[in-house]
A and B are shown apart, each in its own frame.
Chain A
Amino acid sequence: MKKPRIGVFVCHCGLNIAESVDVERVASESKVIPGVVYAKSYIYLCSEPGQDMVEETIKEEHLDGIVVANCSPSLHEKTFRNLAKRAGLNPFKVEVANIREQVSWPHLNNKEEATRKAMVVVRETVRKLAGDLELEPFQIPVTHKALIVGGGVAGIQAALDIADAGHDVYLVERTPSIGGRMLQLSETFPTLDCPQCIMTPKMTEAAQHSNIHIMACSEIEEVSGYIGNFEVKVKHRSPFIDWVKCNGCADCAEVCPVNMKSEWDEGLALRKAAYRPFEQAVPNKFTIDKQGEPPCRAACPVHLNAHGYVAAISVGKYEQALSLIRNEARFPFAGVAGRICTHPCQEACKRQEVDSNSVTIRHIKRWLADWELKEKGEASMEIEIESPSGQKVAIVGAGPGGLQAAVDLRKSGHEVTIYDAQDKPGGMLLTGIPAFRLPKNILAKECELVFKLGVKFVPNTRIGEDISLKKLIDSHDAVFLAVGAYKEGKMGIPGEDLDGVGGAIDFLASINKGETPEIGKRVAVVGGGNSAIDTARSALRLGADVTVLYRRTEKEMPAIAEEVKAAKEEGIRFMLLTNPTKFIGSGGKLKAVEVIGMKLGELDSSGRRRPIPIEGSEEILEFDNVFLAIGEKPDLSFISSEEGIELTPWGTIAVDDETLVTSNPKVFSGGDCVTGPATFIDAAGAGRKAARSINLMLEGKDFTLDRANELSRKSDLVGDKDLAYPSPLKPMPELEVADRISNFNEVELGYSEEEIIDQAKRCIHCGGCSECRLCEAACEPDAIAHDLKDWIEEISVGAIVVATGFELMPLSAMPEYGGGRFPNVINALQFERILCASGPTAGEVRRPSDGKVPKKVAFVHCAGSRDPEHGVAYCSRVCCMYLIKQAMLYKHAVEDGEAYLFYIDIRSNGKRYEEFYARTMEEDHATFIRGKVSRLYEHDGVVTVFAEDTLSSQPVKMDADLVVVAPAMLPSKGATELASKLRLATDEYGWISEAHPKLRAIETLTAGIFVAGVTQFPKDITDAVSQASGAAGKVLVMFSKETLEREPLIAEVDADICTGCGVCEEICPYDAPKVDPVKKIAKINEALCEGCGACAAACPSQAVKHRNYTRTQLFAMIDEATKDY
Chain B
Amino acid sequence: MNENQDAEAVDEVTKAKEPKVIKFDELDPNFKYEIQAEPSGEFITRCYACGTCTASCPVRSIEETFNPRRIIHMALLGMKEQVLASEFVWLCSTCYACHERCPQDVRITEMMNALKNLAVKNGYIHPAFTAQIDLIQGHGRLYEADAFVNKKRAKIELPELTESPDPIKTIFKATGLYLYSSEAKEAGSASTDADAGATTKPEGSKDE
CB distance from B55 to the nearest CB of A (A): 4
Rounded to whole angstroms, the CA-CA distance of A933 and B50 in the bound complex is 9
The DSSP consensus for interface residues of chain B is: loop
Residue of A nearest to B46 (CB): A868
Mask, B34-66, CB within 8 Å of A = 1, is: 000000000000001111111111001100000
Mask, A948-969, CB within 8 Å of B = 1, is: 1110010110000000000000
Contact (Cβ within 8 A) A948 B105: no
Also in contact, A862 and B55, with CB within 8 A (given A932-B50, A955-B60):
no
Given A934-B101, A949-B51, A955-B55, 6 more A-B residue pairs with CB atoms under 8 Å apart are A869-B105, A932-B52, A946-B56, A948-B55, A953-B70, A955-B60
User: Can you report 5 A-B residue pairs in the complex whose CB atoms are below 8 A from each other?
Assistant: A866-B48, A870-B103, A934-B53, A947-B52, A948-B69
* Cβ contacts under 8 Å, B57 to chain A: 955
Residue of A nearest to B54 (CB): A948
Q: Tell me the residues in window 837-891 of chain A with beta carbons closer than 8 Å to chain B beta carbons.
A: 862, 866-870
Interface: B102 (CB within 8 A):
yes
Interface: A816 (CB within 8 A):
yes
* Cβ contacts under 8 Å, B105 to chain A: 868-869
Contact (Cβ within 8 A) B102 A862: no
Rounded to whole angstroms, the CA-CA distance of A953 and B51 in the bound complex is 9
CB distance from A176 to the nearest CB of B (A): 37
Contact (Cβ within 8 A) A932 B70: no
* Cβ contacts under 8 Å, A933 to chain B: 52, 55
* Cβ contacts under 8 Å, A956 to chain B: 55
Contact (Cβ within 8 A) B55 A868: no
Residue of B nearest to A949 (CB): B51
Also in contact, A862 and B56, with CB within 8 A (given A869-B105, A955-B61):
no
CB distance from A957 to the nearest CB of B (A): 9
Rounded to whole angstroms, the CA-CA distance of A931 and B48 in the bound complex is 10
Contact (Cβ within 8 A) B103 A950: no
CB distance from A375 to the nearest CB of B (A): 64
Interface: A904 (CB within 8 A):
yes
* Cβ contacts under 8 Å, A947 to chain B: 51-52, 55
Our pick among B54, B56, B102 for the contact of A950 (Cβ within 8 Å) is B54
Rounded to whole angstroms, the CA-CA distance of A870 and B100 in the bound complex is 11
* Cβ contacts under 8 Å, B104 to chain A: 867-869
CB distance from B197 to the nearest CB of A (A): 30
* Cβ contacts under 8 Å, A953 to chain B: 54, 67, 69-70
Our pick among A816, A866, A870, A950 for the contact of B51 (Cβ within 8 Å) is A950
* Cβ contacts under 8 Å, A870 to chain B: 103
Interface: A935 (CB within 8 A):
yes
* Cβ contacts under 8 Å, B53 to chain A: 934, 948
Also in contact, A904 and B48, with CB within 8 A (given A931-B55, A934-B55):
yes
Our pick among B48, B49, B52, B67 for the contact of A934 (Cβ within 8 Å) is B52
Interface of A with B (CB < 8 Å)?
816, 862, 866-870, 904-905, 930-935, 946-950, 953, 955-956
Contact (Cβ within 8 A) B55 A946: yes
Interface size, chain B (Cβ < 8 Å): 20
* Cβ contacts under 8 Å, B103 to chain A: 862, 866-870, 932
Q: Tell me the residues in window 144-174 of chain B with beta carbons closer than 8 Å to chain A beta carbons.
A: none
CB distance from A835 to the nearest CB of B (A): 27
Rounded to whole angstroms, the CA-CA distance of A947 and B104 in the bound complex is 16
CB distance from A321 to the nearest CB of B (A): 53
Rounded to whole angstroms, the CA-CA distance of A88 and B52 in the bound complex is 66
* Cβ contacts under 8 Å, B67 to chain A: 948, 953
CB distance from B102 to the nearest CB of A (A): 7
CB distance from B151 to the nearest CB of A (A): 48
Contact (Cβ within 8 A) A955 B102: no
Rounded to whole angstroms, the CA-CA distance of A950 and B51 in the bound complex is 6
Residue of A nearest to B55 (CB): A934
Our pick among B50, B60, B61, B102 for the contact of A931 (Cβ within 8 Å) is B50
Rounded to whole angstroms, the CA-CA distance of A816 and B48 in the bound complex is 19
Rounded to whole angstroms, the CA-CA distance of A162 and B74 in the bound complex is 56
Residue of B nearest to A867 (CB): B103
Rounded to whole angstroms, the CA-CA distance of A816 and B98 in the bound complex is 12
Rounded to whole angstroms, the CA-CA distance of A955 and B70 in the bound complex is 12
* Cβ contacts under 8 Å, A866 to chain B: 48, 103
Rounded to whole angstroms, the CA-CA distance of A759 and B63 in the bound complex is 58
CB distance from B73 to the nearest CB of A (A): 9
Residue of A nearest to B61 (CB): A955
* Cβ contacts under 8 Å, A955 to chain B: 54-55, 57, 60-61
* Cβ contacts under 8 Å, B55 to chain A: 931-935, 946-948, 955-956
CB distance from A743 to the nearest CB of B (A): 70
Residue of B nearest to A870 (CB): B103
**Closest 6 A/B residue pairs (Cβ):** A948-B51, A932-B50, A931-B51, A934-B55, A867-B103, A948-B54
* Cβ contacts under 8 Å, A932 to chain B: 50-52, 55, 103
Rounded to whole angstroms, the CA-CA distance of A946 and B57 in the bound complex is 11
Q: Which one of A870, A934, A947 has the highest number of Cβ atoms from chain B below 10 Å of its Cβ? A: A934
CB distance from A283 to the nearest CB of B (A): 43
Contact (Cβ within 8 A) B69 A950: yes
Q: Which one of B52, B55, B61, B105 has the highest number of Cβ atoms from chain A below 10 Å of its Cβ? A: B55
Rounded to whole angstroms, the CA-CA distance of A270 and B26 in the bound complex is 64
Residue of B nearest to A903 (CB): B50
Contact (Cβ within 8 A) B49 A950: yes
* Cβ contacts under 8 Å, B52 to chain A: 931-934, 947-948
Residue of A nearest to B104 (CB): A868
Rounded to whole angstroms, the CA-CA distance of A950 and B71 in the bound complex is 12
* Cβ contacts under 8 Å, A868 to chain B: 103-105
Rounded to whole angstroms, the CA-CA distance of A217 and B22 in the bound complex is 62
Rounded to whole angstroms, the CA-CA distance of A947 and B60 in the bound complex is 12
* Cβ contacts under 8 Å, A869 to chain B: 102-105
Contact (Cβ within 8 A) B56 A904: no
Q: Which one of B53, B54, B56 has the highest number of Cβ atoms from chain A below 10 Å of its Cβ? A: B54
* Cβ contacts under 8 Å, B56 to chain A: 934-935, 946
Rounded to whole angstroms, the CA-CA distance of A866 and B102 in the bound complex is 11
* Cβ contacts under 8 Å, A905 to chain B: 48
* Cβ contacts under 8 Å, A950 to chain B: 49-51, 54, 69
Rounded to whole angstroms, the CA-CA distance of A948 and B54 in the bound complex is 6
Rounded to whole angstroms, the CA-CA distance of A934 and B101 in the bound complex is 7
* Cβ contacts under 8 Å, B49 to chain A: 904, 950
* Cβ contacts under 8 Å, A931 to chain B: 50-52, 54-55
Rounded to whole angstroms, the CA-CA distance of A812 and B67 in the bound complex is 30
Residue of B nearest to A950 (CB): B51
Contact (Cβ within 8 A) A935 B54: no
Rounded to whole angstroms, the CA-CA distance of A398 and B61 in the bound complex is 80
Residue of B nearest to A931 (CB): B51
CB distance from B17 to the nearest CB of A (A): 13
CB distance from B44 to the nearest CB of A (A): 15
Mask, B62-95, CB within 8 Å of A = 1, is: 0000010110000000000000000000000000
Residue of B nearest to A951 (CB): B51
CB distance from B59 to the nearest CB of A (A): 11
Residue of B nearest to A946 (CB): B55
Rounded to whole angstroms, the CA-CA distance of A870 and B101 in the bound complex is 10
* Cβ contacts under 8 Å, A867 to chain B: 103-104
Rounded to whole angstroms, the CA-CA distance of A862 and B104 in the bound complex is 12
Rounded to whole angstroms, the CA-CA distance of A948 and B60 in the bound complex is 10
Contact (Cβ within 8 A) B101 A935: yes
CB distance from B65 to the nearest CB of A (A): 10
* Cβ contacts under 8 Å, B51 to chain A: 930-932, 934, 947-950
* Cβ contacts under 8 Å, B48 to chain A: 866, 904-905
Residue of B nearest to A945 (CB): B55
CB distance from A947 to the nearest CB of B (A): 5
CB distance from B206 to the nearest CB of A (A): 26
Rounded to whole angstroms, the CA-CA distance of A953 and B71 in the bound complex is 11
Contact (Cβ within 8 A) B70 A862: no
Q: Which one of B50, B61, B102 has the highest number of Cβ atoms from chain A below 10 Å of its Cβ? A: B50
Also in contact, A904 and B101, with CB within 8 A (given A946-B55, A947-B55, A955-B60):
no
Q: Which one of A816, A869, A948, A953 has the highest number of Cβ atoms from chain B below 10 Å of its Cβ? A: A948
* Cβ contacts under 8 Å, A948 to chain B: 51-55, 67, 69
CB distance from B94 to the nearest CB of A (A): 18
